[in-house]
Structure 1
Amino acid sequence: MTKIDTRLNVAPVPPDEIFALNGAYAVDPHPQKVSLGVGVYRTDDGKPWPLPVVEKAEQQLVKDNDLFRHEYTAIEGDVPFLGIARDLMFGFEGKPSEEDAKARIASVQTVAGTGANHLGALFLAHHMKPTNVWLSNPSWANHQTIWELAGVPRKTYPYYHAATRSFDFDGMMDTLESDAQEGDVVLLHACAHNPTGLDPNKEQWVAIADLCERKKLFPFFDSAYQGFASGSVVEDAWAVRYFFNNKPDMEMCVAQSFSKNFGLYGQRVGAFHYCTNRASTSIRDIVVNNLCHLIRGEFSMGPRVGCSIVKKVLTSDELTAEWHQDLQVMSSRIKSMRQALYNELVRLQTPGTWEHIIQQNGMFSYTGLTPKQVYALKDKYHIYLLKSGRASISGLSQKNFAYVAQAIDDVVRNEI
C-alpha cells in the first residue's frame, strides 16, 4: 500500500442524506419511482414549476437591458432589495412608528437561507459568544453543520412527541426553562417547521417569546417558507413580527430565504436581519459594518440576478398580486396532496393514526414511519424519503398518491 504524504488531517464525512437520496432516485430506472426526499416544489406532473410571475419578471429584466446587470453590488448586497426583503419580513405597512422600527434592523444580502443561517451563526459566535445554541429535536440537519462550523456548542430542546406525532410544547418549554442560560441562542423555525411540519400556535408563540425575554435568551428565526406554507406572507411571518413588535427590548435575528416562495432554488437569494433593541439603534450601522467584514472575507457580496427578480416583482403592484396568486397555487396543491394521502390511508384502514399528515403544515410531513419501513419503501416500491420518515409532500401527485398510500399500508402491516 502506497503511503500518502500529506500534512492534512482529514477523515471521510458522511454524505449529505438529501442529496445522496436524490442522486439514487435520479439513476433508478423503475417506472413508478417516487421522490419524496428533496424539498423543492413540483407540479402534479412531477416537473419543476418556474413561477409564472418570475418568468414575467425575467422577460421584463431582459427588455430593460440594464447595462449594470452584471456589475458588482455593494458588500452588503443590493440595497433596494434589502429594504424590500426587510419590509416583506417585518411588515411595517405605514405604521406611525415605521421609521423607528426600521432603525432597529441591520440587513445584508446572503447566499440564500443557508448563507443567512451561516452568516448569522458566524457573527454571533464572533461578537456575542453564546455558551450554547439550542436547536429543536429534530431540526433541519444543516443547522447542526452550520453551528458546528461556527464553533458554538449545540444542545437540543424537545420538539416532536413521537407517541402522538404532535408538537411537544411542554417539553420544549420545560427544557429551555430549566437548562438554557442567559445569552444562549434559541433557533426557531418561523413557520412550516422542517422536518416535522408542526408549528406552535399563536398562544404558544407568545409564551415562547415571554420565556426568551424573561431568561434573556437570543431568538434566531429561520424563515424559509414565508408565503409558501399557508399561502399568506402575513400569516407565515406572524411569529417573527410578534417577537419584533411586542418585545422591543429584546434583540433577535432572522435568516430569510426566497428559494421556496419564489421558486429560485438555484439563484441563492436570501437576507440576514439583525434586530437591535429599541435602546441600541445607534449600533445598527456598526452591525452592518461587521457583517460586511465577514461577507467580504467569504464571498464579497450576494448574487445579483435572483435578487433582481425579487425586486422586480415586489416593486410592482401588478406583479406582487400575481406572486400572491402563485403562492396560493403552490400552497393549495400541497394541502390537497396531504388530504389525498390521508384519505387513501383511511380508506385502506392502514394501522395507526394518520391525522398528523393533515395537521402538519408546509412542504414536509414527519410521517412517523420507521427507518426499516423507509428502507422497505425504497427497496420494494422505489419510493424515496429520508430515514427519519420525513416526506416532501410536493413529490405526491394525483397519479401516485394511491400508489404511495398502498406502499405505506404494506410496509406498516408487514412490521406489525
Structure 2
Amino acid sequence: MGYTREEPVERTSLFNHLETMPGDPIFGLMTQYAKDPAEFKASLTIGVYRDEEGKPWVLPTVKKVEKMIAEDAATNHEYLPMEGLPAFVKAAQDLLFGNPSAALSSRIGSLQTISGTGAVHLGARFLNDSLHPKRIWVSDPTWGNHHAIFDIAAPEVEQKLYPYYDAETCSLNFSGMMKTLEEEAQAGDLILLHACAHNPTGIDPTKEQWKQIADLCEKKKLFPFFDSAYQGFASGDVDEDAWAVRHFISRGTLELVVAQSFSKNFGLYGQRVGAFHIVAGDEQARDKALSHLIYLQRAEISNPPVYGARIVAWILQTPELKAEWEQDLLIMSGRIKTMRAALYAELQKLQTPGSWEHIVNQNGMFSYTGLSEKQVLALRKEHIYLLTSGRASISGLNRDNVALVAKAIDKVVRASGDAPAPAITA
C-alpha cells in the first residue's frame, strides 16, 4: 500500500492571541557577553559571586560537607515533609533570629522554600489571601523580580513605590521615603523592605534610620515584609546583617514575615535553598498561619528539595563547620569590599569627573554606579557589561580587570560630559 502525501494544511493555534513576553534583561545581557569575541571583556551583570579568576567559587565548607553527605550511609532521597527538612528549618530560624527565646519561638512559623524567590512568592500569595491588603509599598528601585512576583501571586494588590535612591547624590533618599510613607501609606498596607545589601542600589538605612522606619510601621499600622537575600554576605557578620529584622521583632508590637535565601551566603545558587518565616502575635495565630502556608506549599511544589537544605543544616548545626563557613563569608564579603576600594582608587587616579565615593559607601554585591543608560550602552562598545540602570555587580571585578574597567568608565564619562554625583564645590 503506497503512501499518499497529504496537501499542506494551514494550521492555527489557540495560543496565537498571546503577546510575546519580554525576556529577562540580566540573562539576556549574559548571553550577549558570552557571544562577545573580544579578548578583554568584563561582565558586571548577574548577582553571583566570582573569585579573583572570575570563576564560580564553591565554598570550601560546602565541598567538605558534600563529601560527608556522599559518604553517609543514612543519606537517601525520600520526600521531605511539606514544611521542609526539620534540621534546616530550625537552623534557618536560628541564623535569622539569633537563637530565639522560647517565647519568641512560639510566635515563629517557618517552612523551607524554593530559594528566596519561592519565599517571596509564597509570602505574596499567603498575605494576599489572608490579609487582603490593598497596597504594597516597594522601594524605587527594587529587585526587578519583586514586581513580577506580586503581579502573579497577588494581582489585586496595588504596587506603590516609595522613594529610595537619590540620583543626585547616589545615596539613600531617606527623607523622601519617610515623607511619602507618612503622607500616603494607609493602615493595613504591606511594606517590602530589604534586610541588608539593598538590591540593586547597595544602599542600606543606618540603624537609627531603621528605628525610624519601625516607628512609622507601628504608627501607621503597616505590615513589614522583609527580603533577606544576603545575610552575612553584606558585612561578613551574620548578626550585623540581621539587625534590622531583629530590631523590628524586639518591639514586640509588630507582626511580620521574612523571605530568606541561602543562594549567596552559601554559594548554592542552583540548589534553590530558602525559607519563609512568619512572626505572629501569639502561638495560636502562628499555628493557623503555618497551616495555610503548608496548604499553599502542597498545591504549588508539594515537597521542597533536600540536597541543598542538608548542606546548610549540616554546616549551621556543627559548630566547627559553622565557624569555617563564617570565614568563607569573610573571604567573599572582604573581596567585594576590596574591589570597591580598588575601583574607587583607579577612578581617583584617572581624575574621572564626578564624585565616586558612593561606590565605597555602598555595600553588598551591587553598586548603583550613577552611570546613565547612554553611558552604559557606550561601555558595551568597550566590552564592559552592566545593566542600563547603572547597576554593577562588584563581584565581576578582579585585580586583572579593575584598572581596565575604570579606564572604560573614565572614557565614556568624559565623552558624555555627564558625571555621576558631581563633586560639591565650596
The normalised TM-score by structure 2 is 0.94
Q: 1:177-216 counterparts in 2 under 5 A?
A: 177-216=182-221
Corresponding residue pairs, total: 407
Partner of 2:95: 88
1:74-123 superposed Cα distances (whole Å, 9 cap, x missing partner): 01111121111011000036xxxx10100111101100000000000010
Partner of 2:33: 25
Q: 1:118-137 counterparts in 2 under 5 A?
A: 118-137=121-140
Question: CA separation in 2, counterparts of 1:273 and 1:104?
Answer: 10
Question: CA separation in 1, counterparts of 2:104 and 2:39?
Answer: 54
Q: Which moved more, 1:224-233 or 1:77-86?
A: 77-86
- 1:267 deviates by 0.2
Show structure 1 runs of 5+ residues with no match: none
Larger Rg: 1 or 2?
Answer: 2
- 1:14 deviates by 1.1
Extract structure 1 runs of 4+ deviating beyond 4 A: none
Question: CA separation in 1, counterparts of 2:286 and 2:334?
Answer: 39
One of 224, 233, 238 as aligned partner of 1:228: 233
Taking a change above 3 Å as real, the CA distance of residues 45 and 7 of structure 1, as seen in their structure-2 partners, is closer
Question: CA separation in 1, counterparts of 2:213 and 2:241?
Answer: 17
User: Does residue 360 of structure 1 match 2:362?
Assistant: yes
Partner of 1:266, secondary structure, is helix
Partner of 2:14: 6
Question: CA separation in 1, counterparts of 2:276 and 2:177?
Answer: 26
Instruction: Give RMSD over aligned pairs.
Output: 1.2
One of 173, 181, 187 as aligned partner of 2:178: 173
Partner of 2:85: 78
- 1:180 deviates by 0.7
- 1:405 counterpart letter in structure 2: A
Partner of 1:221, secondary structure, is strand
One of 270, 275, 295 as aligned partner of 1:271: 275
Question: CA separation in 1, counterparts of 2:12 and 2:69?
Answer: 52
- 1:31 deviates by 1.3
Question: CA separation in 2, counterparts of 1:2 and 1:159?
Answer: 53
One of 307, 310, 321 as aligned partner of 1:308: 310
Partner of 2:263, secondary structure, is coil
Question: CA separation in 2, counterparts of 1:274 and 1:8?
Answer: 42
Question: CA separation in 2, counterparts of 1:80 and 1:320?
Answer: 14
Question: CA separation in 2, counterparts of 1:231 and 1:190?
Answer: 14
- 2:139 counterpart letter in structure 1: S
Contact 2:366 2:393 in 1 (8 A): yes
Question: CA separation in 1, counterparts of 2:187 and 2:175?
Answer: 20
User: Does residue 252 of structure 1 match 2:256?
Assistant: yes
Partner of 1:115: 118
Question: CA separation in 1, counterparts of 2:113 and 2:13?
Answer: 38
Contact 2:192 2:225 in 1 (8 A): yes
Contact 2:93 2:99 in 1 (8 A): no
Partner of 2:339: 337
Question: CA separation in 2, counterparts of 1:8 and 1:83?
Answer: 48
- 2:284 counterpart letter in structure 1: S
- 1:110 counterpart letter in structure 2: T
- 2:186 counterpart letter in structure 1: Q
